[in-house]
Amino acid sequence: MSNAPLMPKATAVWLVENTALTFEQIGDFCKLHSLEVKGIADGEVAQGIKGLDPISTGQLTREEIDRGEKNPNYNLKLQESKVRLPEPKRRKGPRYTPVSRRHDRPNAILWLTRNHPELKDAQIIRLVGTTKATIQSIKDRTHWNSPQLSPMDPVTLGLCSQIDLDLEVQRAAKDRPAVVPGDDRSATLLPADVTTAREHDDAQASASRKESLDLETVFAKLGGSRKTDEDED
């Protein structure tokens, strides 16, 4: 069987104390090494652990244990548990952070504000279990330990899972508008009739300037030729 019983070591303790099963049979059923089961029998392993009756928990039947005791090569089969455990509900509100890791939260907040500025304060609070005042002080660099802070990935620090981080980033991306007012990237192209009209006007102005220059050149040449004729006379 690939599934282990509830509280494997406690179950192994009970089987060692109350049955004639071999160490290999108990180890196979509880997913423990046979030498570890032998250590339980010798009192070297699982000291202070109270045995758990697998029959009372519905994981084994007396008939199944009898079959195993009669045949040392028989592998015990785990019965389907009658106890249905409710699925864990997603915790709402700030995430609880162990005391030993709370000093890492400012570094994680700094990392989030730098690498994911699209995240809202409420999302950062959910990820690392901090307060809005702390987030603001880190953003403003007024945090008491601001000079010593170093951005560190909250997933690496164990403050949140990669799945939770990706989920919050995706939510922030959906809430973020596609076009930011005032951003240079939000500028749109001018209509074609406007741009072509400008090009036409520029072309006309250039042609007029060229024509004016040509007339001035002609008149200058004419004036020069008149002076030459007078000199010859």
Per-residue model confidence as pLDDT tens digits over 76-133: 998 875 555 555 555 555 555 555 556 788 999 999 999 889 999 999 999 988 889 9
Residue 48 lies in a domain: yes
Q: Range of 160's domain?
A: 99-175
Residue 213 lies in a domain: no
Residue 201 lies in a domain: no
Residue 49 and residue 103 share a domain = no
Residue 170 and residue 133 share a domain = yes
- Give pLDDT tens digits for 158-173: 888 888 888 888 888 8
Residue 171 and residue 107 share a domain = yes
Quickly tell me which residue has 């006309």 as its tokens: 204
- Give pLDDT tens digits for 221-230: 555 555 544 5
Region 183-203 average pLDDT:
52
- Looking at per-residue pLDDT, the higher value among 48 and 159 belongs to 159
Residue 157 lies in a domain: yes
Residue 15 lies in a domain: yes
Burial (0-12, 13-18, 19+ Cβ within 10 Å), 155: middle
Show which of 51, 70, 89 is a domain's final residue.
70
Residue 66 and residue 126 share a domain = no
Number of structural domains, the chain? 2
